[in-house]
Amino acid sequence: MSSVRVEKLYKRFGHVEAVKGISFEVKEGEFTVLLGPSGCGKTTTLRCIAGLEQPDSGHIYFDDEDVTPLSPAARNIAFVFQLYALYPHLTAYDNIAFPLRAEGLPKQEISQRVGEAVRLLQIEDILHLKPRKLTSGQKQRVALARAIVRRPRVFLLDEPLSNIDAKLREVTRAELKKLQKSLKATTIYVTHDQVEAMTMADKIVVMNFGDIQQIGSPHEVYHYPANLFVARFIGSPGMNFIPGSVEERNGRLGVVVDGAYFTPPWQRSRKLP
């Protein structure tokens, strides 16, 4: 597994600035979530890391290797798409084994790797079925198994649970986090669902309008939001906001709300110098 470092990444589509010079780092073995509303640039960022989009400027490093000019195949990443992207004419087993066969690996090694992945995800009984016979949860596990067998440097997941019903999503979140820990896999996960981010992430990168609003642990972004957007977006319901102003009276700072003056408790016993 590798660490990932994004430096001053910028991506434009016509007149739209999708990503505005952002920088962040994902440590080796860390589960980092890119969190934000639809259209905030999180999926574009993930696709740039994968090599599916070429940034207009900036650099992407795996460990200390600049992979910005490399093709997706040369980056050795595994990408799990929102819609699974399974081959409909292949069985679950053949879907999982497909990337290994494309690499030309021996049959024995393919069988061994596939076996390890399907045991880990507990899908041994559906290997003979084609995607049309699988449930959404089973398709998700097949897509994850196909990513695991490649033993990539980095796992990239683009809202992989959005097409699963609420009950199964709750179970799958826990299983996915447990799986990531057991593999010690460097993982970047895109979602607009704050519950997924808060329950799964080691670190959250909160994005809006193509820019990073805050980077921190779930505890930090929840209890210590960096700005009003993060305070509104994180939490259900979000924080309450009351318009007011800070004023000094009798040598102490206080807050004026609707004409009423309030002195915070920590200011009541001290005067300004």
Q: Where are the domains of the chain?
A: 4-233, 242-273
pTM: 0.82
Task: Tally Cβ neighbours within 10 Å of residue 102.
Answer: 10
Give the model's pLDDT for residue 5: 97
Provide the pLDDT confidence category of residue 28 given band limits of 50, 70 and 90.
very high
CATH code at 4-233: 3.40.50.300
Give the model's pLDDT for residue 148: 84
Per-residue pLDDT reduced to its tens digit, 205-248:
999 999 999 999 999 999 999 999 999 999 877 788 888 888 88
Give the model's pLDDT for residue 91: 95
Least confident among 35-49, 70-84, 191-205, 220-234: 70-84
Per-residue pLDDT reduced to its tens digit, 87-126:
999 999 999 999 899 889 999 999 999 998 888 788 899 9
Name the pairing type of β-strands 203-208 and 211-216.
Answer: antiparallel
The β-bridge partners of 218 are: none
- CA angle (87, 117, 178) in 5-degree steps: 115
Helix or strand or coil: residue 76?
A: coil
Per-residue pLDDT reduced to its tens digit, 128-185:
999 999 988 888 889 888 988 888 889 999 988 776 777 777 777 887 888 788 878 8
Least confident among 18-32, 123-137, 160-174, 185-199: 160-174
Q: How far is residue 16's CA from residue 44's CA, in Å, rounded to a whole number? A: 12
Closest CA to 187 of 215, 161, 156: 156
Residue of 175 and 29 predicted with greater confidence: 29
Dihedral, CA atoms, 89, 95, 101, 103, nearest 10 degrees?
120
Q: How far is residue 261's CA from residue 244's CA, in Å, rounded to a whole number? A: 10
Residue 266 has pLDDT above 70, yes or no: no
Residue 183 identity (one-letter amino acid)? L
